[in-house]
Amino acid sequence: MLRRRERRTGLPSEREPPKILFAVAAVLMAAALASVLAGRYALAVQRYAQERYNDARDRTEALAVTQGALVEAKLEELDRTIKWLRALPAVPWRNHDSAGNMEAVMHRVLEYNPLLIGFEILNAEDETLIGVYRNGCRPSAHYTSLAVFEADPTDRAHLSEPFSATPPSQHRCMTLSRPVPGASADAAGAVTAVISATLFGEAVGAANDIAGISVGVFTPSGDLVFRTPQADDPQDSGTITALALRDGPHADPALSFLAGSPLNGTQRIVTVRRLERWALTVVVTEDFAPTAAAVAEFRRAERRRAVFIAVPLYALLAIIAALSARQIRATKALEAGFIERSHIVEELRAGEQRLRHLAQHDALTGLPNRVLFADRTQQALGIAERTGDRVALMFVDLDNFKPVNDSHGHAAGDEVLAEISARMVGAVRTSDTVGRMGGDEFVVLLPVVEDTEAALAVAHKLGSEMSRPLSVEGERVEITASIGVAIYPEHAAGSSELAAGADRAMYAAKRAGGNTIRLFTR
């Protein structure tokens, strides 16, 4: 019996599982294998990249701590020298005859501290009493004025912004000053050390011996104090400066992130560390290119490993699929004939349904047209004749629709008609029917209504919903309607007479000025 079924239909019997299952299983196994290999590959690459990024971040953070500590130590040492000079009995405001001795002391200090290129002692009038400078380098008056202590009268050291020496030299300078307390709240003078920012950077940057890492120190305004290495690399300098201006002076005390260079587009690991006491910011950057290259090489190695594993397995699956290919083709050919015939039948049925819908419904609103509405009216009247129920028919005409069409065009008018149709459908029951006769004329059929008051209540609800304002091309528009109501069997004995009564009631509403409801009267 089973063999006769195979010869008659060409399909496999119930005892023999279709060979297509082998191909399906092979495809599913290939998909699962590809998913596993892809997930393992992505996870391994992500983990390796995160480890390399963490290593680079740890290096920059450690160097930022080291460089920050060196900067603070050097400034503390210079501050102690200033406090020592300020406490000497030979300072001019204590002993005016000892200026020569004070100059000698200051010269000796300059000899033993290569970072210093000068000293100044100011009196209360902001005048320079003593000025000792190395190689003729001296600051401008702006950086040695006592005005810097007016905002903060406490005994604190003040570090100036970097500036060029006068006369011009290879040094960029900064001043470190301390006020000399006087009898009143004002300072009696100040002791100022002129520091070579260039030599200061060389002394601090000597600890940075890691290739590819740059260190910059910035003031609160974003001016560069020094950077290491000292090689003339404007792109690298511009990168550090831009990053410091963006995240340095106002960032958290310690911050690390990965950023692209504003100038050359290279990625760098950036660590920003603030030195709160001296209002300086240390910015350490490391070129991310070596790390990215290592990650790329690891990605290639993982891809080769995945291919080495996948190729034999995929070959085995291909053999399994090939063994069932003949049966698959035969089965598909047989099924294709049935599928093609079923598709033709489905398309014919769908086309018939579309034609029937187009013949019975309005193309714009989707509401029943005159033909379908008349059929439903006839059915409602036939049922009401047997049951003794009342049927209400309403004719609805829009009062001020033509100005919308004239001023905004037919496309806007179509949108208004579609919205009005949706509101009318929402205002009645699902058992009721809303139809469009054409233009701005609509009809409503209530197949079961208790009495005249119930029909008029529905008409009032329709008028209220339709009169809600609309927005047409940004302009507020109000559409009202004139509604005529006729009720079977009080006003008519058949569908034609009922429609004529509702139409006459609608025109009575129009003559009354519109936006109103009229019940048919004989």
Q: Which of 276-285, 301-310, 488-497 has the lowest mean pLDDT?
A: 301-310
pTM for the predicted model, two decimal places: 0.49
Closest CA to 211 of 289, 150, 324, 272: 289
pLDDT of residue 403: 87
- CA 26 to the chain's CA centroid: 42
Token representation of residue 184: 């009143």
Token representation of residue 194: 């002129």
pLDDT, averaged across the chain: 77
pLDDT of residue 95: 52
pLDDT of residue 234: 44
User: Which whole-number Å values give the CA distances from 459 to 339, 465, 520, in the listed order?
Assistant: 52, 10, 13
Compute the average pLDDT of residues 195-221: 78
pLDDT (tens digit, 9 = 90+) per residue, 446-468?
A: 999 999 999 999 999 999 998 89
Sign of the Cα pseudo-torsion (485, 486, 487, 490, in order): positive
Spell out the residues 6+ positions from residue 330 whose beta carbon is closer than 8 angstroms to its own: 10
Burial of 494 (0-12, 13-18, 19+ CB in 10 A): middle
pLDDT of residue 448: 93
pLDDT (tens digit, 9 = 90+) per residue, 338-395?
A: 677 777 778 878 777 877 777 788 888 889 988 889 999 999 999 999 999 999 999 9
CA distance 244 to 252: 12
pLDDT (tens digit, 9 = 90+) per residue, 230-272?
A: 544 444 444 555 454 454 444 455 677 776 655 455 677 888 8
pLDDT of residue 213: 81
Spell out the residues 6+ positions from residue 240 whose beta carbon is closer than 8 angstroms to its own: 214, 216, 224, 227, 283, 285
pLDDT (tens digit, 9 = 90+) per residue, 154-171?
A: 677 888 888 776 666 666
Question: Catalytic residue among 414, 440, 451, 503, which?
Answer: 440
pLDDT (tens digit, 9 = 90+) per residue, 5-26?
A: 444 444 444 444 555 565 666 6
Identify residue 358 by its one-letter amino acid code. L
Does the annotation count 440 as an active-site position?
yes
pLDDT over threshold 70, residue 50: yes
For residues 146-168, one letter each, b for 16 or more C-beta atoms within 10 angstroms of the residue's C-beta and e for the rest, the string is: bebbeeeeeeebbbbebbebeee
Compute the average pLDDT of residues 198-220: 77
Burial of 22 (0-12, 13-18, 19+ CB in 10 A): middle
pLDDT over threshold 90, residue 442: yes
Spell out the residues 6+ positions from residue 83 whose beta carbon is closer than 8 angstroms to its own: 178
pLDDT (tens digit, 9 = 90+) per residue, 167-196?
A: 666 667 888 888 877 645 566 778 888 888
pLDDT over threshold 70, residue 492: yes
